Structure 1
């Protein structure tokens, strides 16, 4: 994994945290409005890029096993999802006004919640993204085999189809469910565009030397490299302001396509050239890389921690402002992420991987 991109995983996880952190418990105003969708879009494009970086060559081997590939992905995602879902069930059962629906809960358990247009299917709300990722991973071995031109043309045509279908849907159902928002934001078939864009960025990364982008980067002065690395960050900020100002349904998804691709390609190019800019260098600090490594745990538990700490503060310090609650919540989320990663996520993955290796055929990969 490219160190600067690893660190950016944590920074964008912080943006998602800020989007979910309410300034006042029970009210919609958040610490940073709109940064959650921005972070999710970056993660989905990054997933396509990183998956290609690690597996593009492996899927072409004659002994590649789709089943073993998917088992490895599930081992990485599913155990922590189940742990967080159990915590959510316990927390939700403590609220007398909330009823847990068995059928949507079963769909949530099997990571199918993004396919279900129901509020009741959410569970640990942020886990919807895993439902999408599992679907993307299942298609990945075929997507990454496409030639770059085929993939680009396919993505353009597919995006047009997504826009056409989404725009034709009603804004909401008779029950008040925001159907069009669900289609653009949660539905796996719609979010597939971003994962494919990550694979497109990987193809660009592979051609960076042939396109003379690497030699161009090396010719830049240190200040110019830093300016180029800051460019996608400014682009993200500008798009965020536009999305928050106009609020068109779906724009909080497709508006971030370009900034996400641009950021990943620039920092990957900086790494490939061997001459990192000042921003890449700053992001390559060991402690930031480590926080990037635990970003999945951070993402999975942060919403639960926010809910629980908000409830505790409403009991103990009902008149306390948001600043102290923010410090406590963020601190507990980071420490909790470290503990969950060290004592649950990694040990369980290693245990399940050993069991998988024992039953693995000699030709599987």
Structure 2
């Protein structure tokens, strides 16, 4: 059973493209973040919600790719496929982070100058596994569970959701799954409304508070995506990629709501976006169709770079942020450099995809057995 190839399925090209649009907006969000005094005044204010959108997309795609295949696939085979899909770029993200690490020593990251090489290499090797590091092994000063490549935290929770799905949730009836999704939505709303910041920002540290945020962020969107895949009936939507991309941009670009005095209003906005708007975007994207060669190429390009750019861009952001904040450089002066960082992030992602990720995954598939599944699952 473990060595039997699974037949490929038609894929949702527009969903691939939307994942890439969100990933590029994450890079832009992080560039603007370097210039913000707080999240109250940041441009592309809600760009961090891309993580929650990714979780929902992942749940939808996992359900589509695997829900009807468990009679022909073991749990071990499922985990093998997920590792082949995700782990090579995790390793590359940590390598890129290590390569940039000492260039980031600055007033913003004074700890870096004191870190011995052996400790950085140890952190990198642990990062290859995605096992979260405790604050005692922090080498940057931000208490990240992956201080060489911050976005690794969301991949850690992605794996947790995949494990929960494979061991338990795949067996749930739609009613039981709906109950789980409802309870997870309540958990998410409680976080956003009662949390100290009125948002879902967090999840990247191995502390009780940050683990609370991480689980609240992953449980609803991932399993809501799974429920959406199981229950929706698709319709026909014209220009779905354009409309959905504009919706994503609108959600991310919305200024902070409520200000510092009414943080709970922003929490309501984020809960509404994650619970209702993101499923709507996925529904519309899945209902659309790519009708021209140009649209197909655009969606394919964005889909291809979506995961590589997300997992490799942040070492460049560390460096850019240190440069901006150490020298107090306003956005109008830094704009050409910011554009260069954005372009470099795209180029790095594409190079990693073609020269490393795709060849390594092909090699792993040959070594470990057939693993042909829906391409972004």
Please tell me the TM-score bracket, short chain as reference.
0.7 to 0.9
Gaps of 5+ in 2: 1-10, 198-204, 371-377
Q: Look up the match of 2:375.
A: none
Q: Look up the match of 2:202.
A: none
Question: Is this contact kept in 2: 1:9–1:43, CA < 8 A?
Answer: yes
3-state SS in 1 of match to 2:111: coil
Q: Report whether the alignment pairs 1:8 with 2:18.
A: yes
Q: Report whether the alignment pairs 1:128 with 2:139.
A: no
Instruction: Count residues with an aligned counterpart.
Output: 332
Greater displacement, 69-78 / 80-89? 80-89
3-state SS in 2 of match to 1:321: helix
For residues 254 and 170 of structure 1, do their structure 2 counterparts lie closer, same or farther at Cα, with a shift above 3 Å needed?
closer
TM-score, length basis structure 2: 0.71
The whole-number CA distance in structure 1 between the counterparts of 2:360 and 2:173 is: 37
Gaps of 5+ in 1: 172-176, 209-213, 359-365
Question: Is this contact kept in 1: 2:45–2:252, CA < 8 A?
Answer: no
Q: Looking at CA atoms only, which structure, 1 or 2, has the larger radius of gyration? A: 1
Q: Look up the match of 1:146.
A: 172
Which runs of structure 2 are paired with 1:205-220 in the superposition (5 Å)? 205=232, 207-208=233-234, 214=235, 217=236
Deviation track 1:87-131 (CA, whole Å, cap 9, x = no partner) reads 323433452632557887676443233997981423211111110
Q: Report whether the alignment pairs 1:196 with 2:223.
A: yes
The whole-number CA distance in structure 1 between the counterparts of 2:277 and 2:348 is: 31
For residues 132 and 244 of structure 1, do their structure 2 counterparts lie closer, same or farther at Cα, with a shift above 3 Å needed?
farther
Alignment equivalent of 1:97, drawn from 76, 86, 111: 111
TM-score, length basis structure 1: 0.73
Shift of 1:37: 2.0
Alignment equivalent of 1:236, drawn from 224, 232, 251: 251
Q: Look up the match of 1:345.
A: 357
Which runs of structure 2 are paired with 1:205-284 in the superposition (5 Å)? 205=232, 207-208=233-234, 214=235, 217=236, 232-233=247-248, 236=251, 241-242=256-257, 246-248=262-264, 254-255=271-272, 256-271=274-289, 284=295
3-state SS in 1 of match to 2:151: helix
For residues 104 and 121 of structure 1, do their structure 2 counterparts lie closer, same or farther at Cα, with a shift above 3 Å needed?
farther
Question: Is this contact kept in 2: 1:15–1:36, CA < 8 A?
Answer: yes
Q: Report whether the alignment pairs 1:159 with 2:159.
A: no
Deviation track 1:240-292 (CA, whole Å, cap 9, x = no partner) reads 65377754486686342211101001221234xxxx7xxx8799341332221
Q: Look up the match of 2:5.
A: none
Which runs of structure 2 are paired with 1:271-350 in the superposition (5 Å)? 271=289, 284-308=295-319, 321-350=333-362
RMSD (CA atoms): 4.3
For residues 180 and 244 of structure 1, do their structure 2 counterparts lie closer, same or farther at Cα, with a shift above 3 Å needed?
farther
Question: Is this contact kept in 2: 1:6–1:289, CA < 8 A?
Answer: yes
For residues 304 and 131 of structure 1, do their structure 2 counterparts lie closer, same or farther at Cα, with a shift above 3 Å needed?
same
For residues 192 and 116 of structure 1, do their structure 2 counterparts lie closer, same or farther at Cα, with a shift above 3 Å needed?
farther
Q: Which has the higher helix share?
A: 1
